[in-house]
A and B are shown apart, each in its own frame.
Chain A
Amino acid sequence: MTMMVVGAIITGALLGYWLLPAEMMGYLDTATTLALCVMLVGVGIDLGSQRQTWARLRALGWKVFLVPVLVAAGSLAGAVAGGLILGMPVNESSAIGAGFGWYSLSGVLLAKIYNVETGALAFLTNVSRELIAFVLIPVLAVRAGKLVAVSPGGATTMDTTLPLIARTTDADTTVIAVVNGTILSALVPFLVPLLINL
């Protein structure tokens, strides 16, 4: 999947660099708006049909809900702090942080609704977050506790980093990781456009 995502961007970049004249880019707008709507309907269907996860959340109690809330708050605060160090506007750094590791969605959303530079930075930032998570999860599971090992992955704890969490923690933490990833994934398509328009 990661290879396909990178492959699609590189193919597009090569086409943009060698083949497509700059004036052609304007015509891409209608096609990409349509593609964005189709993709978001698909993302919505996926979120809406996760009834089991929402039922699971009710059964586990409100404290489990604190994990994605704290991960989200920490990510946004961290990204804004990092943005201040880099001299970035708060709307850009917070929207990039609100990708929570979901690099494909946050990257294309920002490239489409804001500008391509911020989209590219969101893509790279969230790819980096996933890579950092892969390195940190096993270390945190041993040193800081199983629950803390769920925190670096953000939205990816329901898919790409889940196998690693399952291997390095226990069954209960794995359930929390799925709930955490589902809630954060549901927040990404709402928070990114809201924060960039601050």
Chain B
Amino acid sequence: MTLIFVSLGIGIAIGYIHPLSPRGVKAAHTITMAGLFILLASMGAQLGSNEKVLADLSEMGLQAVVLAGCSVLGSVALVYLARDFICRGLEERMAGWRRRVRQ
């Protein structure tokens, strides 16, 4: 876990202190994608060689839908309950922000 936070911290520090040029952003994006695809293919390889996971795939699909549905329901319910409070006064702030952006 330390490795995860150190890697993230290094990235955030680089991005914040020295924002990359458009070419640098493209290069960073390509490297990130390469890392992601190596990890995805490796996850696939582990799944493919694991008979138990392959056998449980349909059950896993059902669990995924239950977890996703409950997560969405929780998010929608909380924002719905707080929407009037959040929206109160927001329009003026948004108008002010738009004016500042235009200047």
Contact = CB atoms under 8 A, between A and B. Distances in A.
A40 B72 contact: no
Contacts of B17: 48
A109 interface: yes
Interface residues of A, number: 103
A61 B93 contact: yes
Contact of A78 (B10, B32, B71, B90): B71
B91 A74 contact: no
Contact of B86 (A12, A50, A66, A119): A66
Given A12-B44, A61-B93, A74 B20 contact: no
Majority secondary structure of chain A interface residues (helix, strand, loop or mixed): helix
A136 B77 CA distance: 13
Chain B: interface size category? 35 or more
Contacts of B93: 59-61
Majority secondary structure of chain B interface residues (helix, strand, loop or mixed): helix
Contact of A46 (B15, B40, B48, B65): B15
Interface of B: 1, 3-5, 7-17, 19-20, 25, 28-29, 31-32, 34-50, 52-54, 56, 60-61, 63-80, 82-83, 85-91, 93-94, 96-97, 100
Given A78-B75, A154-B75, 9 more contacts: A32-B42, A37-B3, A41-B10, A44-B9, A49-B15, A74-B71, A74-B77, A116-B50, A120-B53
Interface of A: 4-5, 8-18, 20, 22, 25, 28, 31-33, 35-51, 56, 59-61, 63-64, 66-67, 70-79, 81-83, 85-86, 88, 93, 96-97, 104-105, 107-109, 111-113, 116-117, 119-121, 123-129, 132-133, 136, 140, 144-145, 147-148, 150-152, 154, 172, 175, 189-190, 193-194, 197
24 contacts: A9-B40, A12-B44, A14-B48, A16-B45, A38-B35, A42-B32, A44-B7, A46-B15, A70-B79, A72-B75, A74-B71, A75-B75, A78-B71, A82-B66, A83-B67, A107-B40, A111-B42, A113-B4, A120-B43, A124-B61, A148-B76, A152-B75, A175-B97, A189-B8
